[in-house]
């Protein structure tokens, strides 16, 4: 069994606020809510919005948009106390008749075992069907005391014997309560069992408390039902510091890490908490928020700027035998990808391939440059060779650098994609070399125009990395770019002011020249 993943931005999903994802009626669709103003039904296979739900300015979503599989209806709460339950056909939420005016404010809707459960701000939990039944009008929501503090998040889970539990986690710790179901009304009541004080970064997976150790190098695990307070732990990679942990499924968690080594970007890791094993790792350039969501034990959604990105995991090993017998596989690539694939397996390609490998092994810059300009390589090899030339320990001279820049001829779409995925270190090294070369060439030369175009492309493609990077080298690099571009801007402004005068002088010269040619006929005015 292999470990395969894919990562991409979800087209069309943008907006302010944290992202939440819930199951939809169709297996390949999901209901995605972004902040308090945007909710959509999204096709996760086709990567497109199927339906948008519009929230007017005077309303705000208090809960994510949900689908109730029991009644096959859509559910959400607006302005904390307005419950909407409808068939999903209408997508303007202000046009939907309110199903129930609630007595207490709602903060969330849980989807557990096919049942929707409303979470009230006073700590009460009640199933949706209990709330919408006529007899519930007379029921008052009883406040449930909690010691877990502010920013409380609620979940429900079941023990192995089928006993339901409510878990409230907040800024001060975790409250564990047993849930009892009224056999006549179907309503819930809670009995508080214990409070566990914990202020470190933590979450709960099932009935297991998972917290990040104070040194950010360990995950501490504790059974909430255990009578003792004994913790087990999972040691993280030596060069990783854990920033956030989120449950993925019953036996896995996803952690957000930052590297201790001098490396750009952030990391997500999928960890098997049963065996203390890292299953998969994803490196990303930047995150808008530490909040991210796991969905159906296969997807992780997070924000990059205003955009929503999705990390999808396939064939996750569940047993020790699967873990020990697992081999890493290449990422699954859809035939709908933007890059064209070319085969190098045919017999007639072997001589060309062997000569290419010989050049790559030689570390000869001149031969590499000639190979780069040959046009015989695939796009992937062309890009890899170019990046190697830029990062070579034997720095290319000015002529070699300019030759490499001119010879990297890719279609516009591929060029843009490459520059966005280009290693940030390589991008900064290339910009530094371009700036050094710009300072030595005349602005009237074609070389200057080429270098300036490359500088523009790189700054645009690596914009997000420059925003989040605070190291001295990056800041100096941006300062140099600013000086050059400011000088060009000043020159353009000067030309813009002088051009009209030049045009007027040219016209006057033409007039004077014409007036001196023809003297055979003239009209003069004589004043007496």
Contacts of 358 (CB under 8 A, 6+ apart): none
Q: How many CA atoms lie within 13 A of 165 on its CB side?
A: 24
CA distance 337 to 360: 27
User: 5 versus 518: which is more confidently predicted?
Assistant: 5
Point out which residues pair with 111 in neighbouring strands.
Answer: 116
Q: Kindly give the pairing relationship between strand 327-328 and strand 2-14.
A: parallel
Torsion sign across C-alpha atoms 128, 131, 133, 135: positive
Is residue 351 over pLDDT 60? no
The answer to whether residues 253 and 205 touch, using CB atoms and an 8 Å cutoff, is yes
CA distance 446 to 502: 24
CA distance 156 to 36: 23
Distances (CA, A) of 200 to 212, 213, 244, 346: 6, 7, 10, 57
In what side-by-side order are the strands of the sheet with 29-34? 19-23, 29-34, 38-43, 48-54
Point out which residues pair with 120 in neighbouring strands.
Answer: 106
- On average, the pLDDT of the chain sits at 78
Phi, psi of 24 (to 5 degrees): -110, -175
Contacts of 481 (CB under 8 A, 6+ apart): 431, 435, 455, 459
CA distance 44 to 324: 31
Give pLDDT tens digits for 173-232: 999 999 998 878 888 999 999 999 987 789 998 899 999 988 888 899 999 988 877 888
pLDDT at 444: 67
Residue 344 pLDDT class (50, 70, 90 cuts): very low
- Residue 269's nearest CA partner among 232, 304, 239 is 239
Residue 123 pLDDT class (50, 70, 90 cuts): confident
Is residue 352 over pLDDT 80? no
- Residue 387's nearest CA partner among 399, 406, 405, 366 is 405
Buried b (16+ CB within 10 A) or exposed e, 345-359: eeeeeeeeeeebeeb
- Residue 226's nearest CA partner among 201, 210, 208 is 208
CA distance 256 to 201: 11
Average pLDDT over residues 438-460: 77
pLDDT at 407: 64
- Residue 2's nearest CA partner among 405, 273, 327 is 327
Structure tokens at 150: 């502010």
Phi-psi region of 400 (alpha: psi -120 to 50; beta: other; left: phi over 0): alpha
Distances (CA, A) of 337 to 104, 211, 377, 409: 49, 39, 19, 20
pLDDT at 504: 67
CA distance 105 to 93: 18
Is residue 100 over pLDDT 60? yes
Structure tokens at 72: 């096959």
Residue at token pair 């009237």 = 444
Residue 483 pLDDT class (50, 70, 90 cuts): confident
Contacts of 77 (CB under 8 A, 6+ apart): 61, 62, 63, 83, 84, 102, 106, 109, 118
CA distance 110 to 116: 6
Provide the residue ranges of all domains of the chain, joining segments of one domain with +.
Answer: 359-487
CA distance 239 to 260: 5
Structure tokens at 80: 């904390």
Give pLDDT tens digits for 399-448: 766 767 776 655 565 666 667 777 777 788 888 888 888 877 777 677 77
Torsion sign across C-alpha atoms 513, 519, 521, 526: positive
CA torsion, ordered 126, 127, 132, 138, to nearest 10 deg: -30
User: 261 versus 295: which is more confidently predicted?
Assistant: 295
Average pLDDT over residues 469-487: 80
Question: Which of 88-92, 149-153, 302-306, 462-466 tops mean pLDDT?
Answer: 88-92
- Residue 11's nearest CA partner among 381, 327, 307 is 307
Burial of 288 (0-12, 13-18, 19+ CB in 10 A): middle
């Amino acid at each position: 069994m292999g470990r395969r993943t894919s990562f991409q931005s979800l087209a069309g999903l943008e907006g302010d606020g944290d992202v939440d994802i819930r199951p939809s009626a169709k297996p390949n669709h999901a209901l995605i809510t972004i902040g308090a103003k945007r909710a959509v039904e999204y096709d996760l296979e086709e990567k497109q919005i199927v339906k948008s739900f519009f929230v007017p300015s005077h309303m705000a979503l208090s809960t994510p948009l949900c689908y109730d599989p029991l009644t096959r209806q859509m559910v959400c709460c607006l302005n904390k106390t307005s419950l909407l339950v409808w068939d999903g056909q209408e997508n303007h939420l202000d046009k939907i008749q309110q199903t129930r005016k609630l007595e207490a404010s709602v903060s969330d809707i849980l989807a557990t075992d096919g049942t929707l459960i409303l979470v009230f701000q006073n700590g009460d939990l009640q199933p949706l069907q209990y709330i919408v039944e006529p007899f519930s009008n007379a029921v008052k929501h009883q406040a449930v005391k909690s010691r877990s503090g502010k920013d409380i998040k609620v979940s429900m889970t079941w023990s192995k014997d089928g006993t339901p539990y409510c878990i409230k986690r907040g800024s001060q710790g975790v409250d564990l309560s047993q849930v009892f179901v009224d056999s006549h009304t179907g309503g819930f009541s809670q009995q508080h069992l214990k409070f566990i004080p914990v202020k470190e970064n933590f979450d709960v997976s099932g009935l297991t408390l998972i917290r990040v150790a104070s040194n950010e190098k360990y995950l501490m695990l504790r059974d909430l039902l255990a009578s003792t307070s004994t913790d087990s732990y999972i040691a993280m990679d030596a060069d990783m510091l854990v920033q956030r942990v989120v449950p993925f499924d019953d036996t896995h968690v996803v952690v957000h890490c930052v590297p201790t080594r001098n490396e750009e970007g952030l990391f997500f890791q999928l960890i098997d908490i049963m065996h203390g094993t890292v299953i998969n790792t994803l490196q990303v350039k930047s995150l808008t928020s530490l909040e991210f969501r796991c969905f159906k034990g296969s997807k992780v959604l997070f924000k990059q700027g205003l955009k929503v990105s999705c990390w999808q995991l396939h064939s996750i090993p569940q047993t020790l035998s699967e873990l020990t017998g697992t081999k890493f596989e290449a990422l699954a690539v859809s035939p709908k990808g933007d890059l064209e694939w070319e085969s190098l397996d045919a017999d007639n390609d072997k001589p060309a391939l062997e000569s290419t490998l010989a050049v790559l092994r030689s570390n000869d810059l001149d031969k590499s440059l000639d190979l780069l300009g040959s046009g015989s390589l695939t796009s992937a090899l062309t890009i890899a060779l170019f990046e190697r030339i830029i990062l070579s320990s034997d720095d290319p001279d000015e002529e070699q650098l300019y030759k490499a820049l001119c010879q990297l001829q890719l279609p516009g779409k591929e060029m843009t994609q490459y520059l966005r995925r280009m290693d940030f270190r390589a991008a900064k090294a290339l910009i530094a070399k371009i700036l050094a070369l710009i300072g030595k060439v005349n602005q009237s030369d074609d070389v200057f125009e080429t270098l300036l175009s490359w500088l523009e492309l790189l700054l645009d493609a690596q914009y997000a990395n420059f925003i989040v990077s605070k190291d001295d080298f990056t800041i100096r690099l941006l300062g140099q770019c600013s000086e050059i571009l400011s000088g060009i801007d000043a020159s353009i402004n000067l030309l813009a002011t002088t051009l009209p005068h030049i045009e007027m002088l040219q016209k006057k010269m033409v007039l004077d020249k014409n007036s001196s040619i023809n003297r055979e006929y003239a009209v003069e005015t004589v004043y007496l």
